[in-house]
Amino acid sequence: MKALILAAGVSRRLYPHTYDMPKCLLQVNSKPIIHYQLEALQKIGVKEIIIIVGYHREMLIQNVKKNFPDIIFNFIVNHHYFETNTAYSVFLAKKYLDSDYLLMNADVVYPKELLLDIYKSNFTNVLAVDVKICGKEEVKVIDGGKNKIVAIGKDLIEDQCLGEFIGVAKLSKLFINYFISSLEGLIESGGKNDYFESAMQPLLEKIELNFLDISKYPCLEVDFIDDLETAEKLFKSS
């Protein structure tokens, strides 16, 4: 098992905090956000990690290489980070996705146990979902029964949704093959600024994608300044 972390974005909504650093290096209780993820990956034995970098990439590369010398990193640069989104970032890694992968957004804080549950899940392809009432901003999923996802995206009707996909997934090599093909079609049709979930939606009739309810764990995507304060309270002992 290897990991792919998406960390190229600019994070304008966190200005001025992100004027001089990438979002994933913002600290929550004196620890950069991405360190929570890398420590969790180390705990389950993942040693090879691709990170898609862009905004202030030199700072990020230097930080993780210094603090995690035992991890084998492959840094892929998204030079178009200002005008693209996560679909394009995953697309850039396509030739390296040669096995089962953990796919992760770099701006989510969660305990190590959450990632361990995803890793150990009996589902072959599984998304971490926070079962809750969702708003417009969240990437949402619809449950088709037996933990099977039948729809995913930001634009789903809120009261029909199970909860929020938090940006942590375990995907098989077979799923990734379909996923890359879908991403290629999305990018070719002008979808460089789309989220990668847009390329998952067309696959749901071809290959099963399941969810794991992780709502028992504290978990927060850091998008706004207020989120940093909330994360500080949630992860005091981490």
Domain parsing of the chain, residue ranges: 2-127+166-189+219-234
User: 15 pLDDT band (50/70/90 cuts)?
Assistant: confident
Q: What is the pLDDT of residues 33-58, one digit of tens each?
A: 999 999 999 999 999 999 999 999 99
pLDDT for position 237: 64
By DSSP bridging, strand 210-213 and strand 126-131 are parallel
Sign for the pseudo-dihedral over CA of 57, 223, 103, 92: negative
Which pLDDT does position 184 carry in this prediction?
97
Preceding omega of 16 cis (within 30 degrees of 0): yes
CATH code, 2-127+166-189+219-234: 3.90.550.10
